[in-house]
Amino acid sequence: MTRLPPRRRIVVHVGRPGASQRATEGEVWRWNLVDPPYRRLMNTAIGCVGLVGQSNSVVVAGESGILLCNFDLASDPTHLVHRPDHGSTTRPNDGRVDRYGNLVLGMYNQYHRAGATEGENNAGLYRLSSRTLEWEEILLDYRFRVSNCICFSGDGRTMYFGDTPTRRVYAFDYDRYGPLSNRRLIWTMPSYIPGAPDGAQVDDKGRLWIAVTGGGMVVQLDPDTGVVETIVHVNANPTSVTFGGRNLDELFVTTRAPNGGGLWRVKMPSGVRGLPEPEFN
């Protein structure tokens, strides 16, 4: 059984704006599952966060750049590096630290529904080396609108990805030194399920857990067969998921407006556990 040490028994997540919040506030929340949660405002729209090494810090992918936020300090976040596609109509969206300690980040076409770049596939997928802090536009030989479902198999050799408006999720062979390859479609959302795939995570048996935003649910998917094996209903709009708790047997689900940006905590059935979250180092 995997048990996390006390310093890893925390949940860090991005707060999604509710009706009274501005997207530019960029909330990052940290919760040790015992005391009241702690919030930091980044003053920039945020796509995702990742844990950092042995410190009490997180790497924050924001519209203004990639930041390092230390929750032990009251000082402003440190600017690490510019964001990809700087100056374009995209911003960071979904991302995760891969099993080798690098940040994989997908972008978001801010006007994909209406505006200057409506319907355009202009967003890219990038990898930030934790060693050199240099960007690599690796991963795909095509562009898309809204990156989501970025997560990795336990051995780090498979990456999952979805372009949300297409309602499709793909698996790729993942090479820490090169581009993605061997794309295969693992799930097309059936028409009877509303919404679209958002954030995702993998459990210790290789099953994929996908937040269905606009559908009020999280689905557990067998990536080999495309069969949905479990549905967790959430009375909210889910945006992403991860596993936590002492034994990694709880699912934490972030949500967005119109019913706020709350965090849901769901005890998993016996035998369902997650994997420790990789760290950017």
Active site residue 85: no
Alpha-carbon gap, residue 150 to 170, rounded angstroms: 10
Among residues 94, 163, 198, 203, the one annotated as catalytic is: 198
Helices (H), ranges, 139-189: none
The answer to whether 204 is a known ligand-binding residue is no
What is the distance between the alpha carbons of residues 123 and 120, in angstroms, rounded to a whole number? Answer: 9
The DSSP letter of residue 248 is S
91 labelled ligand-binding: yes
- 182 known ligand binder: no
Distance CA 252, CA 271 (A): 17
d(CA 208, CA 87): 34
Strands of the 65-70 sheet, one edge to the other: 46-52, 57-62, 65-70, 78-81
User: Residue 191 gets which letter from DSSP?
Assistant: T
Residue 198 counted as an annotated binding residue: yes
What is the C-alpha separation between 147 and 164, in angstroms, rounded?
7
Is the N-terminal amide bond of 36 cis, ω within 30° of 0?
no
Annotated binding site: 91, 93, 148, 198
Return binding residues for a divalent metal cation.
148, 198
Binding residues for substrate: 91, 93
- Residues with catalytic function: 198
